[in-house]
Chains A and B, each alone.
Chain A
Amino acid sequence: DAKTTQPNSMESNEEEPVHLPCNHSTISGTDYIHWYRQLPSQGPEYVIHGLTSNVNNRMASLAIAEDRKSSTLILHRATLRDAAVYYCIPRGGYGGSQGNLIFGKGTKLSVKP
């Protein structure tokens, strides 16, 4: 499984953009990069995923480095509800155990009003 490195914690002000980095230098060519987040006292929820190209959805944007060894989750305007632990997870492109979600420590994002 590819190892990931994320900052333990980050702070942001409400309504400002947030860039959450992740290093995954041992990622394999078929691993997608998934991001999940876990709000306090809730189960993890899917945020976004990508393979090579940058991706956008209603929650966030994902910028993937050209060599795929790092990626950045971008929240365009942080809200108080975005305070959560964010997990960056390389995940195999096929089902079975290679498709397993392996959670690391994640980044705890605090959002100040």
Chain B
Amino acid sequence: DTAVSQTPKYLVTQMGNDKSIKCEQNLGHDTMYWYKQDSKKFLKIMFSYNNKELIINETVPNRFSPKSPDKAHLNLHINSLELGDSAVYFCASSQVPTGFTGELFFGEGSRLTVL
């Protein structure tokens, strides 16, 4: 069983469309994340949710909206897609006990191409 799974793995779409990427983790973790890796391979955090509540929201356009229906799922919805949104998006999860930084488990990534 895959610990952190993302769908779809590949997504090709036109500018202006709205798309979603889904993420599920079966590790029982409380915290989930979305990271973006651009064409220069920089990995940057976008959002972090702890027990369905948003705890980190880095400087991300409000066209990006994360949704966490339960603590095992964190979906990423993107409105009005732009060329610059083309990237690989990684979902991750961790269990973060107080006073310790837990290991992050990453999914395999979803490659979004905006034409």
Report A87 CB to chain B, min CB distance, Å.
Answer: 8
B43 at the interface (CB under 8 A from A): yes
Pairwise interchain contact B48-A100, C-beta atoms closer than 8 A: yes
A2 at the interface (CB under 8 A from B): no
User: Is the interface on chain B under 10, 10 to 19, 20 to 34, or 35 or more residues?
Assistant: 20 to 34
Report B87 CB to chain A, min CB distance, Å.
Answer: 13
- Most B CB within 10 A of own CB, among A36, A38, A101: A101
Pairwise interchain contact A103-B44, C-beta atoms closer than 8 A: yes
Report B100 CB to chain A, min CB distance, Å.
Answer: 7
A29 at the interface (CB under 8 A from B): no
A34 to B42, CA, bound (A): 17
Partner of B56, one of A36, A91, A92, A100: A100
Q: How many A-B residue pairs have CB under 8 A?
A: 59
Mark each residue of chain B from 45 to 57: 1 if its CB lies under 8 Å from any CB of chain A, else 0. Answer: 1001010000110
Q: How many residues of A contact B (CB 8 A)?
A: 26
A91 to B45, CA, bound (A): 13
A86 at the interface (CB under 8 A from B): no
Pairwise interchain contact B106-A45, C-beta atoms closer than 8 A: yes
Q: Which chain B residues have a beta carbon within 8 Å of chain A's beta carbons?
A: 4, 31, 35, 41-45, 48, 50, 55-56, 90, 92, 96, 98-101, 103-109
Q: Can you name 13 extra interface pairs (CB under 8 A) apart from A42-B109, A45-B106, A100-B56? A: A34-B101, A36-B104, A42-B108, A43-B4, A43-B106, A92-B101, A93-B101, A95-B50, A96-B56, A97-B55, A102-B45, A103-B42, A103-B44
